């Protein structure tokens, strides 16, 4: 694999990692939110959680990049951070579209379904790209979704929600 192909793969990995991270955290936030009247605040929850996570991650990434690079941030680090932010933004934008296209009473359920589909979809594509059959990939997708949901529920349990 060439250096540019390796770098492109690294950028995709960072974007997917952040997208999955944001999806799991959004799922946890929406599960924990009281479901009476929360629909009117769904956009705020989605973008508040996403921007908060992205900024915290960017901050930690930048400081740690400087830590291991004698106080410097290299162009490659900036590209990786950009890929991470793009992954977060794609998830929040997709969730926003789901809110816009469904009736108010279905907003939270639609976004939760979208996030679950995104997480399971990544699991399915991951398994297929590794040579798994469609059935095995579907099973893997369900397992990935179960783990992600378990993480979201554990996060809420530990936070007292």
Is pTM, for the whole model, over 0.85?
yes
Q: What is the pLDDT of residues 62-86, one digit of tens each?
A: 899 889 888 888 888 889 999 999 9
Q: Whole domain around residue 109: which residue ranges?
A: 3-159
Residue 24 host element (H or E): helix 3-32
Distance in angstroms between the alpha carbons of the first and the last residue of the chain: 47
Instruction: Give the whole-angstrom CA distance, residue 103 versus residue 93.
Output: 17
Domain count for the chain: 1
Rounded to the nearest 5 degrees, what angle is found at the Cα of 58, between the Cα atoms of 34 and 49?
A: 10
Question: Using one digit for the tens of pLDDT, what is the confidence trace for 26-63?
Answer: 999 999 887 776 566 889 999 999 999 999 998 998 89
Query: Cβ atoms within 10 A of the Cβ of 55, count?
Result: 12
């Amino acid at each position: 694999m060439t250096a540019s192909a390796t770098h492109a793969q690294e950028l995709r990995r960072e974007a997917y990692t952040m997208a999955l991270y944001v999806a799991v955290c959004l799922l946890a936030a929406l599960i924990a939110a009281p479901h009476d009247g929360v629909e009117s605040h769904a956009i705020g929850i989605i973008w508040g959680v996403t921007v908060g996570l992205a900024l915290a991650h960017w901050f930690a990434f930048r400081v740690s990049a400087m830590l291991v690079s004698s106080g410097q941030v290299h162009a490659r680090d900036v590209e990786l951070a950009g890929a991470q932010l793009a992954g977060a933004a794609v998830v929040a934008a997709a969730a926003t579209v789901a809110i816009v296209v469904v009736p108010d009473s279905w907003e939270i359920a639609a976004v939760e379904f979208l996030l679950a589909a995104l997480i399971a979809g990544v699991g399915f594509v991951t398994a297929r790209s590794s040579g798994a059959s469609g059935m095995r990939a579907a099973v893997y997708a369900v397992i990935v979704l179960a783990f992600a949901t378990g993480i979201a529920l554990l996060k809420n349990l530990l936070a007292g929600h």
